[in-house]
Structure 1
Amino acid sequence: MPDDVRCLVDDDGCRGQVPRDAPVMLCERHLAAAGDWCEAEYGASDVLPSPCVLCGSRLGVRHRSGWLCAVCEWRHGDIPDDELPPPRVDVVYYLRYADRVKIGTTANPRQRFGAIWHDEVMAFERGDRALEQRRHVQFAADRYERTEWFRLSDALRAHIATVAAGIDDPWSRHARWMSEAIALRG
């Protein structure tokens, strides 16, 4: 942007110098006013004063009315009602043991996995028995007969990579689904 560009605001007689890197043709005073308005209207991302009680995230959005978790949108400071049962969130899971993968479903993965010998939780996919059955059909060629265990084929490995894309820890995805379900319940 040339050095001689002037502020678009002329109703107060401003016409001040526009910074070279300004995203719009406003002087610093009017850019600051626009930023303040955006922050008041839409909130500002910042670090929460303490971790979210639902999902553990530290990222929040600060509004005039208070903080919201940027991950699950739980209002910071609100306490979940411990008398309510936890929400049911069904997941299809992919557990690896050696060169085999178990495709199953559960609403309580921590409890379920305690009963299954495994090396790694590879991924979670939100879904119930219907989705689990579709995955069993999809990978039927790799299935060990009359079990929920499958050979870790290239096709299955690619599917799991797609399901897990962008997620370093499958448990963080499950925690988010649980916190979202609790937040929706209110």
Structure 2
Amino acid sequence: MTASCSVCGAPAHPGAPVALCLTHLLEAHEWVEAEYGQTDLLPSPCAFCGSRLGVRYPSGWLCAVCEWRVGELPPDAAAASRVDVVYYLRFRDRIKIGTSANPAQRFAGLPHDEVLAFERGDRRLEQQRHAQFAALRIPGTEWFETDDALLAHVASLPPDPWGLLARWRSEAAARG
């Protein structure tokens, strides 16, 4: 027996995950795309972080990594607002502790499932964290096995790493 569209009663589109005809499936798709965007390759690399992945909205493109609006130039004070961070990335059951002044660009080349946290600091702080969690380190890498101490440290860092980085960059630019 063929299902009927739950909106108009026409035959539901074969294979559709919900009982909707093709017309209503397309309307739903357009709504989702307008509301949540469509992830795709950017027309050109992001001017702020260099990522190639973007989200297309009816109003234009945003970088999927740093959310910089495509077409807008980075601030002139970008060099003056350099902020080094120690980052914590999760990939499967491991955590990478690294450092970068441009984490979005750095992450584009790293396998990861989640950005866990940022901590303001440079190579010295990164080396301190590597020493602190040395017993968990996978030899020859910056990847660490997870355990309660490492997870507690990450949980003690402020949430919203990207918002935090934006604030730090803004503060650095203001100090100029």
Q: TM-score under structure 1 normalisation?
A: 0.53
Instruction: Determine whether 1:6 maps to 2:4.
Output: yes
Deviation at 1:156?
A: 2.2
Query: Which position in structure 2 is the counterpart of 1:71?
Result: 65
Matched, 1:91 2:67: no
Give SS of 1:7's match. Answer: coil
Q: CA deviation at 1:106?
A: 7.0
Give the secondary-structure state (helix, strand or coil) at the position aligned to 1:37: helix
Of 135, 138, 156, which aligns to 1:157?
138
Confirm or deny: 8 A CA contact 1:45 1:59 kept in the other structure: yes
Measure the CA separation in 1 of the matches of 2:33 and 2:100: 39
**Equivalent residue in structure 2 for 1:47, among 41, 66, 70:** 41
RMSD value, Cα? 3.8
Q: Match for residue 27 of structure 1?
A: 21
Q: Equivalent residues in 2 for 1:88-167 (5 A)?
A: 88-91=83-86, 126-127=118-119, 128=121, 132-139=127-134, 155-157=136-138, 160-162=142-144
Instruction: Judge conservation of contact 2:86–2:125 (CA < 8 Å) in 1.
Output: no
Q: Deviations over 1:141-184 (max 9, x none)?
A: xxxxxxxxxxxx8x421683348xxxxxxxxxxxxx7xx64997
Native 8 Å contact 1:52 1:69 kept in 2: yes
Moved over 6 A (4+): 105-109
Partner deviation per Cα, 1:93-128 (whole Å, 9 max, x = no partner): xxxxxxxxxxxx97769xxxxxxxxxxxxxxx9433
Change (3 A) 1:61 1:137: closer
* Alpha-carbon contact 1:50-1:58 (below 8 Å) kept: yes
Q: Secondary structure at the match of 1:60?
A: strand
Q: Which runs of 5+ in 1 are unaligned?
A: 93-104, 110-124, 140-152, 164-176
In structure 2, C-alpha distance between the alignment counterparts of 1:86 and 1:77, rounded to whole Å: 20
The sequence identity of aligned pairs, in percent, is 42
SS in 2 for 1:157: coil
CA distance in 2: counterparts of 1:7 and 1:21, whole angstroms:
12
Contact 1:6 1:17 in 2 (8 A): yes
**1:52 and 1:183, CA in 2 relative to 1: closer, same or farther beyond 3 A?**
farther
Q: Which residue of 2 aligns with 1:102?
A: none
Please tell me whether residue 38 in structure 1 is matched to residue 32 in structure 2.
Answer: yes
